[in-house]
Structures are given as structure tokens and as C-alpha cells.
Amino acid sequence: MSLHVIESRSPEETSRLGVQWGRQAQCGWVIGLTGDLGAGKTQLVKGIAEGLGITNRIQSPTFTLIRSYNSGRLPLHHLDLYRLDSPSQIIGAGLEQYLYDRDGVTVIEWIERWFATPPSPFKLPYRHVQIEWLNETERRIRYEDFGA
């Protein structure tokens, strides 16, 4: 477990990183994203979807909480917790099941609304990603892998 830091100089670079992760993705992966509004979380998810071979248009599920895409080599479950305030609301919305979905990849925007770092012991493959807005086009992306 080590911290990785990547500087992205454009939305396209952020998307390319996501494509790389999508190509590497395995069943059961959970990727938790943190970052301010406009930091590039959804841009990264679009890249992950592309790397999984998903051809659907990827939209942020801010108002629906979840969007699932099944047209790629693995299903992608894209959750957005922005409108939820606490872990109990998240569990009450039935979203906990996506932490343990072994049939696809789950990407969760605003993961800090659920937990800041993975619960211990976190036995699933989990990548914690923080996207920091540097300027209009540049982002600092820090990530750390936990679990299996």
C-alpha cells in the first residue's frame, strides 16, 4: 500500500488515466473519489467506463444516486453521494450492496460522505482517490490501494 500522485494537465489526461484503470479493472473493484465540485471526478469515471468498453453516455448520478452500465466487459456501478449527508442515509438508500458487488466495478463519488478511509479491515480491492483542483485545466490526483 503506497500513495501515488499524478499531475493531470487536461480533462483528456484525466480521462486517459481512467481508461487505463478501466482496462486493469477486475470484478469487485471499488473506487472511492473525493474532490470539490468540478474537480474532475465524473471525467475520471468517463475514462474508466471507456476502459471497460462501455459505449453509453456517462452522466453524473447526482439526482438518481446510482447509474449502472452493463455494455462493457464488466458492469459499472456509478454512485454519487453528494445529496446524502451520513452513512445511515447511504445505507438507508440501499447503496451498501455496491461495496460488495463481485460482478462488476463500483465507482463512488463523494466517498467521504460514507467513510474518509476504508473501514478496517477492508477485504475488497479498494482504491481511494483524491482529486485536487489546481487551475482551470490541471489537477493533482492522489490514490492509494487497499484490500485484497
Give the pLDDT confidence of 38-93 residue by residue, as tens digits: 899 999 999 999 999 999 999 888 788 999 999 999 999 999 999 998 889 998 99
The pTM of this model reads 0.93
Choose among 44, 54, 37: nearest CA to 20: 44
At residue 61, the pLDDT reads 86
Judged on CB neighbours under 10 Å (0-12, 13-18, 19+), 138 is middle
Q: Quick check: 84 and 111 in contact, CB under 8 A?
A: no
| Mean of the per-residue pLDDT values of the chain | 91
**Can you list the alpha helix ranges (DSSP code H) found in the chain?**
11-24, 41-51, 87-92
Q: Quick check: 42 and 109 in contact, CB under 8 A?
A: yes
CATH number of the domain encompassing residue 70: 3.40.50.300
CA 71/CA 54 separation, integer angstroms: 5
* Domain span holding position 125: 3-146
Share of residues in the chain with pLDDT > 90 (%): 75
If one counts the domains in the chain, the total is: 1
Q: What is the grid cell recorded at 129?
A: 482517490
38 three-class SS = coil
